[in-house]
Copies of this chain bind each other. A is one copy, B any other.
Amino acid sequence: MGDFNRSVILEAIRRAGDGLSRTELAGATGLSAQTITNITRRLLDDQFIEEAGRTIQGPGKPRTTLRLKATSRVSIGVHLDPAMLTFVLLDLTGAVVARTARRMPADDARRIIAAAAAEIEELIADSGIDREAITGIGVATPGPLDPARGTVIDPPKLHSWHRVPLRAALAEATGLRVMLEKDTTAAAVAELWTGDHPPDGSFLLVYLGIGIGTALVMDGDVVRGASHNAGEVGHIIVDPDGPECACGQRGCVEVVCTPQAVVERAERAGVFADDRLGSDAGSVDARFTDLCDKAAAGDHMAISVLEGSAQHFAVLISALTNMLDVDCVVLGGPFWSRLSSLFLAQLPHLLERQSATRAVRDLPVRGAVVGDDVGAVGAGCVVLDEVLSPRAAALFLDS
């Protein structure tokens, strides 16, 4: 119970932003004054929180405001994406203190891990943060993961990357403890940290990256699943007339909704005058930006391709929202900002039409609060979650 109350108090202080007095904490948490006093004393001793001035409200003793001691503990979030390596340093409030990104080095696991470790060292050095304050590194990667071994099972576009013990290797290279998380799960954690969701609410997060994935939040918490791999939707069929998929089906998300699939459809439709330079993730990314720019500039063919894509996403999303009856849908990920205006104009009425419950409820659709860095920020928040509210995460630690 003590750990639980401690987490409740820390969460209330964090949510308040500007801090809370002990009296306000008692009101917000329902805990007794004695419990609040005891726990906040320990949190002050441990430098999780600090006193931030006094306010006088009416008669009686002035009240001391308590807030998180932001730089007492920090975390590092890494997003290992096929196109890009992104690094953030978060303080205890989840704010981004420092950020850096680089294109993914060549297709070799050892070089990627070495490059990541070097970037992390530079990030720490440049930030001037005391190394002792770093509580750990969270790494967001495309799933599925093997949580016991700390490996990514079949990293897309990283063909040399088989049975690489990513978690252990990065822990060894940095001397810091490492937690591995699916990028989609990390994005949902970031949304919980930054978005305005009710504490017991639910949402479906749709993640638009080089791969398409989802995460489910129920009762205010991310559903990680029996093997920590919830959210895999690559082989849900969204277009019966779509191309063959390696899985043996036709028209799966994997071959219809991914940026590569959309770019190829645009190329076949004649949206681009020139040929694409390469087939790697970086070239697809650049081409996808071109496509969205053309659509924004009024190119009818580009708009038509992206509207078709919105329809495919609507098939996927409504399959899941009809199944899960969540409060709302949140879209995010590194490709989201380029699509957001067109998708937010299209998706609500497409989903409404396919909703099994349209007679009784609306289904709000919105964009994630954190932008393209949502994977890295979420990975850092996963570490902070564990610092603020310890739970059985031993499976995910190496140090």
Contacts and interface: CB of A to CB of B under 8 A. Distances in A.
A242 B241 CA distance: 11
B231 A323 contact: yes
Interface in A297-338: 315, 318-320, 322-327
B361 A323 contact: no
A199 interface: no
A247 to B, nearest CB: 7
Contacts of A289: none
Contacts of A226: 202, 325-327, 361
Contacts of A323: 214, 216, 230-233, 236, 320, 323
Interface string A328-369: 000000000000000000000000001011011100000000
Contacts of A128: none
A315 B227 contact: no
Interface stretch (A68-76, A112-120, A143-151): A143-151
A63 interface: no
A174 interface: no
Interface residues of A, number: 50
Contacts of A230: 323-325
Contact of A359 (B153, B241, B324, B326): B153
B229 A218 contact: no
Interface string A97-129: 000000000000000000000000000000000
A58 interface: no
Interface in A178-233: 202, 214, 216, 218, 223-233
A138 interface: no
Given A237-B237, A237-B315, A354-B235, A218 B227 contact: no
Contacts of A232: 322-323, 325, 356-357
A251 interface: yes
Interface of A is mostly: loop
A233 to B, nearest CB: 6
A165 to B, nearest CB: 14
A79 interface: no
Contact of A218 (B153, B218, B354): B218
A230 to B, nearest CB: 4
A147 B360 contact: yes
A366 B220 CA distance: 30
A171 to B, nearest CB: 20
A229 B360 contact: yes
Contacts of A224: 325
A238 interface: yes
A234 interface: yes
A229 B146 contact: no
A214 B373 CA distance: 36
Interface in A133-155: 143-148, 153
16 contacts: A143-B356, A144-B359, A147-B360, A148-B360, A153-B360, A202-B225, A202-B226, A226-B326, A232-B325, A233-B319, A233-B323, A236-B237, A237-B238, A240-B240, A240-B250, A323-B323
Q: Which 3 pairs, one residue from A and one from B, show the smallest C-beta to C-beta distance? A: A225-B325, A240-B240, A232-B356
